[in-house]
Amino acid sequence: MAKKTVRDIALKGKKVLIRVDFNVPLKNGEISDENRIVEALPTIRYVLEQGGRAILFSHLGRIKDASDQAKNSLRIVAKRLSEHLNQEVCFIPDTRGKALEDAVNALNDGDILMFENTRFEDLEGKKESKNDPELGQYWASLGDVFVNDAFGTAHRAHASNVGIAANIKETVAGFLLEKEINFIGGALENPDRPFIAILGGAKVSDKIDVINNLLKIADYVLIGGGMAYTFFKAQGHEVGTSLLEADKVDLAKSLLEQGKDKILLGRDVITAKDFDADSEKNTRDADAIPQDEMGMDIGPKTIALFTSYIAKAKTVVWNGPVGVFEFPRFAEGTRAVATALTTIKDQATTIIGGGDSAAAVIQFGLAAGFTHISTGGGASLEYLEGKVLPGIACVQDK
């Protein structure tokens, strides 16, 4: 997929609109994970070094009322960004109006401005998230060119991506969006083989389209996490009080038939009687889970099975933890998968599909051991489903 990037256009003296994804987690009024800010820095620095006048904007959190506005202002992000760039980031606490327009027009080459949370526009009729035509046109009028670098919203047609692109002469990808296209798109279009997909998370229903698409492309699909118990049930095993989508058992059975030898389920699991960080853990064969126990993690036999396949892989995409990694006692399986993937970095392309998988490897301190960690959970999931993402489609082709 050859898309124009920020390298392909002249930037000096231009007002460069940059849609970033600064939807960072906040805890007690502080940024608890700044990975998305760090990932956006190469594009921002490039625009500034080329003499562009950078105008940044993003969403942050969900905005339903005025109290949400107070706790989801981008001011804190602008302050942190200025520290990374070692230059002032002019923050405008508005999403439209004279103050914003005057500030944009006052920018010099190499200056940077950030305006307020785009979802503040959702308080009255969800103008941002429903791609209000007037809003997209207004934001487009603030700049000369548009750089979309927000993969985290690429699966949504919003005013701040698709709406702007429809009303401006040039729309290109930033370096982060380019990376996502190259790595995830590349893995789906032309993977080095063996290509292994690892899928976890809670529900089969969240991953139906992903499984269907990957069964056409991958050599093996390894399944763990809460969704595995619906597959175990489809095999005729009892799963105790484990997470189970009873209405998806027949679907799981048909996927197993369709996947044949491609789908690999675990041989054993770690169980507990309660969903609690301190609950006593037990190791059970996958076909021998007691009625009063629930699956919490993959077991040692499954770890050995999964890592044996990972060791031979040339391309791996991982979406969804294989256990309740938030509880240290039940994080061993997810940690083992992550560690196994770091050992093949020199021989394989290893891609983490955002969301909880990314949170897990960052929590384990293993992020540096992967080829690429996606910044978009929902977007990467839809990309793996084979869907056309509006935020990528709106970028001009080369």
Q: What is the mean pLDDT of each run of 10 residues along the chain (398 residues)?
A: 92 98 90 91 98 98 86 95 97 97 98 97 91 98 98 96 98 97 92 96 89 95 96 97 96 94 96 97 97 98 98 96 97 98 96 89 94 89 92 96
| Strand order across the beta sheet in which 195-199 lies | 263-264, 220-223, 195-199, 315-319, 349-352, 372-373
- Asked, for residue 287, whether it belongs to a domain, the answer is yes
Statement to judge: residues 204 and 278 lie in one domain:
yes
Statement to judge: residues 153 and 208 lie in one domain:
no
What pLDDT, on a 0 to 100 scale, did the predictor assign at position 376? 85
Statement to judge: residues 43 and 167 lie in one domain:
yes
Statement to judge: residues 230 and 333 lie in one domain:
yes
Statement to judge: residues 199 and 140 lie in one domain:
no
- Asked, for residue 392, whether it belongs to a domain, the answer is no
Rounded to two decimals, what is the model's pTM? 0.90
Residue 52 one-letter amino acid? G
User: How many C-alpha atoms does 275 have within 13 Å on its Cβ side?
Assistant: 10
Which of these three, 124, 152, 177, is where a domain ends? 177
Statement to judge: residues 68 and 132 lie in one domain:
yes
User: Annotated active-site positions, please?
Assistant: 36, 203, 355, 378
Torsion of CA 350, 356, 358, 360, to 10 degrees: -100
Q: Beta partners for 221?
A: 197, 263
Q: Which residues have C-beta within 8 Å of that of residue 150, sequence separation ≥ 6?
A: 19, 20, 21, 58, 160, 161, 177, 391
Residue ranges of alpha helices (H) inside the chain are 35-49, 66-71, 75-85, 98-105, 133-141, 164-165, 175-180, 186-189, 208-217, 228-234, 249-259, 300-310, 332-342, 355-363, 377-384, 390-393
CB 247 within 8 A of CB 299: no
What pLDDT, on a 0 to 100 scale, did the predictor assign at position 145? 98
- Asked, for residue 303, whether it belongs to a domain, the answer is yes
Q: What CATH number does the domain containing 41 carry?
A: 3.40.50.1260
Statement to judge: residues 13 and 74 lie in one domain:
yes
- Asked, for residue 391, whether it belongs to a domain, the answer is no
Q: Which domain holds residue 355?
A: 191-384
Statement to judge: residues 235 and 380 lie in one domain:
yes
CA 253 to chain centre: 29
What pLDDT, on a 0 to 100 scale, did the predictor assign at position 1? 59
- Asked, for residue 256, whether it belongs to a domain, the answer is yes
Statement to judge: residues 113 and 229 lie in one domain:
no
What pLDDT, on a 0 to 100 scale, did the predictor assign at position 355? 82
- Asked, for residue 184, whether it belongs to a domain, the answer is no
Statement to judge: residues 172 and 196 lie in one domain:
no
- Asked, for residue 269, whether it belongs to a domain, the answer is yes
Statement to judge: residues 117 and 202 lie in one domain:
no
How, if at all, do strands 220-223 and 263-264 pair? parallel
Statement to judge: residues 153 and 249 lie in one domain:
no
What pLDDT, on a 0 to 100 scale, did the predictor assign at position 354? 73
Which of these three, 151, 177, 203, is where a domain ends? 177
How, if at all, do strands 268-272 and 294-298 pair? antiparallel
Residues counted in the chain: 398
- Asked, for residue 1, whether it belongs to a domain, the answer is no
Which of these three, 177, 209, 239, is where a domain ends? 177
Q: Looking at the 3D structure of the chain, how many domains does it have? A: 2
